[in-house]
Amino acid sequence: MATKIFVRERRKVEKGEKKPRFRIVGVSGSDVKVYANHVRRSELDQISHETGAEIIYLQAGTGPKTGDGQQTQ
């Protein structure tokens, strides 16, 4: 099974900010262990290149929030 790294963009990072922009959500199919929660795209690309893993960019939820973690329809 091919290794996949699932990531999403962080929500509270503003454009031009010098903080890591992506959050690793999960890793599937390998012994890859990730110790950082937030990483830069260049770091993801390097991990992917060295391990042969595919990076899956998840879509962030959109829409108004109710404050209890649920989206309104």
Per-chain mean pLDDT for the chain: 76
The whole-number average pLDDT for the span 46-55 is 88
**Residue 72 Cα to chain centre, angstroms:** 24
Q: How far is CA 8 from CA 1, 22, 73, in A?
A: 22, 6, 22
Across 26-30, 35-39, 67-71, the highest mean pLDDT is recorded for: 35-39
Q: How far apart are CA 55 and CA 43, in angstroms?
A: 11
Q: How far apart are CA 22 and CA 16, in angstroms?
A: 14
Give residue-wise pLDDT tens across range 9-36. 876 666 776 666 777 777 777 777 778 8
Q: How far is CA 63 from CA 14, 34, 46, 52, 67, in A?
A: 19, 30, 33, 35, 12
